[in-house]
Chain A
Amino acid sequence: MVMKNPKLAQGTRRKLVPLQVLVPIVSTVIALGIGLLIIAATGASVVEAIEAFWDGMAGSDFNIGASINRAISLALVGLGFIFASRANLTNVGGEGQIAMGGMFATAAALHGAGGLPLGLAFIVPLAVGTVAGAVWGGLAGFLKAARGTNEVISTLLLSFIALPLVYWSVESFHLLRKPISDVSSLPESAEIPDSTKLPLLFPDNGSPLHIGLLIAAIAVVVVWLVLKHSTLGLRLRAVGLNATASRRAGMRTSFYVILAMTVSGGLGGLGGAIMILGQQLYLTSDFSSGYGFDGLVVGLLSRGSAVGVVIGALLFGFLRSGSINMEISAHVPSAVVLICQGLIVIVIAGSAILTNRKVTR
């Protein structure tokens, strides 16, 4: 009934825009406040902790760059999540797609890409990592299209396969493990050649910020265009909302399911490749360390908006940097920040129910 009156609908929407901006901010503040209480409860100095936290997030050009670099990979996984969710598919396998992307990018960088000219040295590993992630996501899409396997389960289980694959590859000398030079040699790959590392945007001021930022920015614009304004976006939406009606209207629904999961996985794979080529520079067994799940949360909180993904990724990227520094210099466990992240999610998700209820009333 309300839908029939466009004036009314507009009225409620106008009121809601600030609410949708306000809610995440307020929930972040509340969550951080609770985090401070926990820090105080552990007996650590709250002032020291805040200083260390701020320093880690944005205390220097280096720290800002590192925070943004973290946000880049989170944003790519988040974009992948909203791409799949446009077709009503839930890709929870970001962790595995990052792992596959990072592992294959490392392999490409170590074996062959290093000598390529004209920037191809890092472009080829990026592309290889993207394809690896795309295959990992596409596999879930194929299972869904061919056998109806629930993609939530298949992407999750594919992650449980991908993570041990990375472990295997860094444990095995036949694969990516570097030769043992002394007793302290860890199971990890050799460092990638300099030519395959992502070029820095500001090489002079010591910021680690690299061109992954540009790649992510392009990805944001492309995903936004495709989802909001393209025929492909509309077809994905139609297939996700009602597969039978879409099939009747001439769409190949299996194709779009596989495509959505492939692109989604590819974005995750790209995120993983950027983590290796931009920051970590060698492969370790646990290099993805929760980025896939954080990226999933970023995608969830954005509610399908590419801009929301950017904001969420920056928030989580900075929080992660701050928490690492807080642990190192103020001896506050970084788990406190994880608790805060969890609180942010719960408060935002909870308030989403409230705002939704206002829309439907």
Chain B
Amino acid sequence: MALLELSGLTKRFGAFTALDDITLLIERGEVHCLLGENGAGKSTLCNLVFGVHRPDAGTMTLGGEPFDPRGPAEALQRGVVMVHQHFSLVPNMTVAENLMLGRASAVLKPQDIIVRMEQLAAEYGLEIDPEARIDELSVGERQRVEIIKCLLGDPQLLVLDEPTAVLQPDEIDALLAICRQVALRGKSVILVTHKLGEISRVADRTTVLRQGRIIATVAMEGADIRSLVRSMVGRDVQSAGSVLAAAVDIEGKTPAKSSSDVGPTSPGEAVLQISDLVYRDPHGVPRLDGLSLTVGTGEIVGIAGVEGNGQTELGLILAGLAAPSAGAIVVGGTQVTGCTPQEITDAGVGIVPEDRHAVACIKELSVAENLYLGAIGKFSRFGLLDKSARRKAAETMMRDFDVRASSPDVSMASLSGGNQQKAVLARELSLDPLVFLLAAQPTRGLDVGAIEAVYNRIRAARDDGLGVLLISSELEELMAVSDRIAVIYRGKLVGELAAGSFSREAIGAMMSGHAHV
């Protein structure tokens, strides 16, 4: 008998139907993946099961009994636990203290928690120091604390809402292994993701959601990944070669590069020259330690590396948001070392920053305002805004870059992540002059359709003669898009591979500091 049975579940928010007549069985001991683009209803489904929202129609049963949680507390009581995208941990308390929070028992016994943590470490390999403070932990470790919190009470069903979006490759591997362990013990796991590679590695069955409806539920043994992609986005993905290769990553195979993806054979003159760049953080720790790099016109140079090896700092310095301690940056013959963001923009540099919400856009402002954030004075007379001219220009730009929004006047926050990123790309690629583009983690958190659009834009920019620097933590993405990959390790470039000689193993070894080429 199935553990969880959903029949005819419907959920509306105002006039918007988030879930429409969902009928689904979750078996005991299975890892069930929910796949779909942003806004397909995956998170809503999880929230219904966890009691955050209540369905407008339909019923649920859990272990054969009717299940209608009026809130998360009731869901927890019935053995349903959930790890949200945003963690709910108290940063300045220890792991053990966080685990004791929310326990119903009046007398807190730290030693009980520690004993239970040892059991979980033995059972699932969930090892963590109970005395460590949360704010000293990495994102992956914090997530581990959340999972331990869930497993403390020996639940029946574990719901994970996009758990891998924030993780590094090795942490993803560990998480997927934990999911499998949980399922092996007869519990069920619901895993929300839009990374197909993960599905093929861990899922027993996958349900594809689109616009609040179930498109298909597939047993993963012998399933065709391509048809899954098609049902997910509702159409064949154009130039499927590299996108699929990047997104699918079945069993870690090296994606093949089709000939059309390869740029001009010989890049032109240098457009970005970084020499001996050093950056020390406020504590004096060198984050960049003598990094030198040249990007030519018409080439895409990828930077591979485990996160935290200086990529973020490199991105901030190129954007003008941090000043290097030493070294020089020259763009198209202009010195931009330590210059202001405006001076860097004037030198012809477009920036797609790593943190879209904190740096690239202001979500409370409208799409049009965001598209012209760096050129507010462009549509004005005597200091007063000419909003209709700006709206017109914004509409054109949105059409050119396929930014989907009902109007340029809606807030940036109402757009999906993919459309937000397309808007950022539209703004940065419309700069004049423009000779160089930095794209830092440009597809993070985006769905397959939007990822494809971002890749196409970056390639088109390269074909127009721009130099592009692509910083990414997704190895498949780098191999699919770059003409050349440099590997960063502890603030230095430790090796470089040209197109055609990319190999996961070689790059992986360099990323972990084990090998030099």
Q: Which residues of A contact B (CB under 8 A)?
A: 1-8, 225, 229-232, 234-235, 237-238, 241-242, 244-250
Contact = CB atoms under 8 A, between A and B. Distances in A.
A342 B411 CA distance: 35
B384 A229 contact: yes
A9 B19 CA distance: 21
A231 B385 contact: yes
Nearest to A12: B14
Given A2-B14, A4-B414, A6-B406, A249 B384 contact: no
Contacts of B351: 248
Contacts of A231: 376-377, 380, 383-385
A241 B377 CA distance: 19
Interface string B207-247: 00000000000000000000000000000000000000000
Nearest to A234: B376
Contacts of A244: 321, 358-359
Contacts of B14: 1-2, 5, 8
A246 B361 CA distance: 8
Contacts of A7: 15
Given A2-B14, A3-B410, A245-B358, 17 more contacts: A3-B411, A4-B16, A4-B414, A8-B14, A8-B15, A231-B380, A237-B365, A238-B362, A238-B376, A242-B358, A242-B362, A242-B363, A244-B358, A248-B319, A248-B353, A250-B340, A250-B345
Contact of B384 (A6, A230, A245): A230
25 contacts: A1-B14, A1-B16, A2-B16, A3-B413, A4-B406, A6-B406, A6-B410, A8-B14, A230-B383, A230-B385, A231-B377, A231-B384, A234-B369, A234-B376, A238-B373, A242-B363, A245-B358, A245-B359, A246-B362, A247-B321, A247-B341, A248-B319, A248-B353, A249-B341, A250-B340
B341 A1 contact: no
Given A2-B13, A6-B410, A234 B385 contact: yes
B322 to A, nearest CB: 11
Contacts, number: 84
A230 B382 CA distance: 9
Nearest to A235: B376
B11 to A, nearest CB: 11
A3 B414 contact: yes
B362 A241 contact: yes
B56 interface: no
B18 interface: yes
Nearest to A232: B383
Contacts of A3: 410-411, 413-414
B358 A249 contact: no
B129 interface: no
B320 interface: yes
Contacts of B374: 249-250
Contacts of B321: 244, 247-248
B385 A225 contact: no
Given A1-B18, A229-B384, A234-B385, A241 B369 contact: no
Contacts of A245: 358-362, 373
B407 interface: yes
B364 interface: yes
Contacts of B345: 250
B430 interface: no
Contacts of B501: none
Contacts of B334: none
List 3 tightest A-B contacts by C-beta distance, closest first: A250-B342, A3-B414, A249-B374
Contacts of B373: 238, 245-246, 249
B105 to A, nearest CB: 35
A241 B365 CA distance: 9
Q: Which of B14, B407, B411 has the most CB of A within 10 A?
A: B14
A245 B341 CA distance: 10
Nearest to A237: B365
A234 B375 CA distance: 11
Contact of B365 (A1, A4, A238): A238
A231 B386 CA distance: 9
Contact of A5 (B15, B18, B361): B15
Contacts of A241: 362, 364-365
Interface in B364-420: 364-365, 369, 373-374, 376-377, 380, 383-385, 387, 406-407, 410-411, 413-414
Contacts of A237: 365
B19 to A, nearest CB: 12
Interface in B3-48: 13-16, 18
Interface in B420-455: none
Given A6-B407, A229-B384, A248 B320 contact: yes
Nearest to B377: A231
A82 to B, nearest CB: 17
Interface string B313-332: 00000011100000000000
Contacts of B384: 225, 229-231
A200 B61 CA distance: 79
Nearest to B319: A248
Contacts of A248: 319-321, 341, 351, 353, 359-360
Contacts of A1: 13-14, 16, 18
A249 B362 CA distance: 10
A175 to B, nearest CB: 40
A247 B339 CA distance: 12
B202 to A, nearest CB: 30
Contacts of A2: 13-14, 16
A229 B385 contact: yes
A4 B376 CA distance: 25
Contacts of B342: 250
A246 B358 CA distance: 10
Q: Which of B15, B345, B363, B410 has the most CB of A within 10 A?
A: B15
Contacts of B407: 6
Contacts of B410: 3-4, 6
Nearest to A233: B385
A235 B359 CA distance: 15
A222 B358 CA distance: 32
A8 B15 CA distance: 8
A4 B351 CA distance: 28
Contacts of B385: 229-231, 234
A244 B316 CA distance: 11
A234 B362 CA distance: 12
B349 to A, nearest CB: 11
Contacts of A249: 341, 373-374
A7 B15 CA distance: 10
Contacts of A235: 376
Nearest to A225: B384
B117 to A, nearest CB: 38
Interface string B252-277: 00000000000000000000000000
A225 B358 CA distance: 29
Nearest to B407: A6
A241 B363 CA distance: 9
Contacts of B383: 230-232
A246 to B, nearest CB: 7
Nearest to A226: B383
A87 to B, nearest CB: 13
Interface string B489-512: 000000000000000000000000
Contacts of B376: 231, 234-235, 238
Nearest to A9: B410
A225 to B, nearest CB: 7
A93 B385 CA distance: 31
A250 B341 contact: yes
A185 to B, nearest CB: 51
Contacts of B16: 1-2, 4-5
A65 B213 CA distance: 67
A6 B14 CA distance: 12
